[in-house]
Amino acid sequence: MREQRSYSSEAIILKHLDMGEADRILTLFTPYKGKFHAVAKGVRRIVSKKAGHLELLNHTQLQVAVGRNLDIITQAESIESFPHVRTDLWHMTCGFYLAELTDRFIEEDTQHQDIYKLLLAALRTLDEDVVTLKPQLVENTIAADQEHNRSQLLLRYYEIYLLSSVGYEPVLRTCAHCNVDLQPVENGFTPSLGGALCPNCSSLWAQPLSVNALKVMRLLQRSDWGKVPPFRLDKRTHAEMENAMRGLIRFHLERDLQSWNFLEQLR
């Protein structure tokens, strides 16, 4: 049987690493092959025709040759480049964060079509948000708050969905320690146990988690993104959800993500 020498695939560019004088190793996320690395030869040269199609976050159609150690990208054509995201630093950083998060949690050569589709949908949402809100931001600070509100909800949604998909679903309906049903009172959250704690257990080792924060996180956990209401949440609620999810991510990865610092600076 003749061995396959090349193949085609669509991909989202998650990461790149310069190699040699002109080459670049790309981390690619595809719907059927999963995550893998491939070399784009000569892509850093000014005359390269592939360079513009292999930018970070691009959704690109690729032709790939099978290599001895790493496969080699021979052709690339952008399907979506999300140009509006690239004009807004906040939304672009959100996109980079989603890519970094995906890269850290998704194992190589493991198919995750659900995460692939969600990442693509999230990048489209960020791109559309810039188009919708940008004209209002010049003279409307309320629109600026709305911009951050919706995008922060999107980040929390993606975090919850991604963790659930790879086997780390946050425990949000029963106490992660004693397993009793959580009541509509201030509960707690601890990353080492994987989720929320009832008041009795959270008095020992947990950060506070308000009723509103827990309700929103539960809704995000059980809803399609398109059906999530346009909540107008206060900064405290956003901070509680973010701290809870960051703690959970840090616990599983045993490290911080680089994008967190950039998001903090922009906010």
List pLDDT tens digits, range 86-100: 999 999 999 999 999
Backbone angles phi, psi at 139, to 5 degrees: -130, 15
Length of the chain: 267
Q: Report which of 174, 184, 190 is spatially closest to residue 251, judged by C-alpha positions.
A: 190
pLDDT of residue 136: 53
Q: Does the structure show a pLDDT above 80 at 6?
A: yes
User: For residue 21, what is the DSSP state?
Assistant: T
Burial of 179 (0-12, 13-18, 19+ CB in 10 A): exposed
Per-residue pLDDT band at 231 (split at 50, 70, 90): confident
Mean pLDDT of 210-229: 95
Give the separation between CA 266 and CA 141, rounded to whole angstroms.
15
Cβ of 190: how many Cβ atoms within 10 Å? 23
pLDDT of residue 230: 85
Q: Does the structure show a pLDDT above 80 at 11?
A: yes
Backbone angles phi, psi at 184, to 5 degrees: -75, 65
Question: Per-residue pLDDT tens for 107-133?
Answer: 999 999 999 999 999 999 999 988 876
Most confident of 2-6, 27-31, 142-146, 199-203: 27-31
pLDDT of residue 138: 47
pLDDT of residue 122: 97
Q: What is the CA radius of gyration of the chain?
A: 20
